[in-house]
Amino acid sequence: MIRQAIEDDLSQILEIYNDAILNTTAIYTYNVQSIEDRTLWLHKKNEDELPVLVSIENNQVIGFATFGPFRAWPAYKYTIEHSVYVHNDFRHHGIGTALIKEIIRIAEERNFATIVAGIDAFNENSLKLHEKLGFEYSGTIRRAGFKFGKWLDLAFYQLNLPGPENPQDG
């Protein structure tokens, strides 16, 4: 089941997110977050009317996904960047695929034109997943980050959506 996240989900979202920080290059940061950090994050997402989706199995959050603005300038208003994280015990079971498909559905419904994915270039599973869902390779920033004692390359993928019928400046 996929649904909008609620505050009661935050401790499990935090567990998934902090595991990704500590053990993967999916997030280019070093320090784990607190429940207060994630609470503020969820409140801001809700305030900005941005989705935070959770995948639930047996009353457990096994994955989550969201999207937000790609860049802060107004001309980027039709472009979003998404993120998806799956609990380590549930990877390779279609959870990420289902979450991204729902993100795509919501983005289309809201008339966004482009979804961007920034993916660690060595994360072959995520690269293949995005390609399977129609995302196209857009370029790589070499040595974009440094974590676990090595340089990290950030690959960008994009999915073009129909977007608004009559896009407007401003």
Sheet holding 79-86, edge to edge: 2-4, 52-57, 60-69, 79-86, 114-120, 150-160, 136-147
Instruction: Give which of 152, 101, 91, 148 is closest to 125, Cα–Cα.
Output: 91
2-113 belongs to CATH 3.30.70.260: no
8-54 residue pLDDT tens: 999 999 999 999 999 999 999 999 999 999 999 999 999 999 999 99
Beta-carbon-side half-sphere exposure of residue 113 (alpha carbons within 13 Å)? 11
Which residues, in sequence order, are CB contacts of 145 under 8 Å at separation 6+? 25, 28, 151, 152, 154
Please check the confidence at residue 170 and state whether its pLDDT lies above 90.
no
Nearest to 66 by CA among 115, 25, 111, 130: 115
| Every domain of the chain and the residues it spans | 2-113
pTM of the predicted model as reported, rounded to 2 decimal places: 0.95
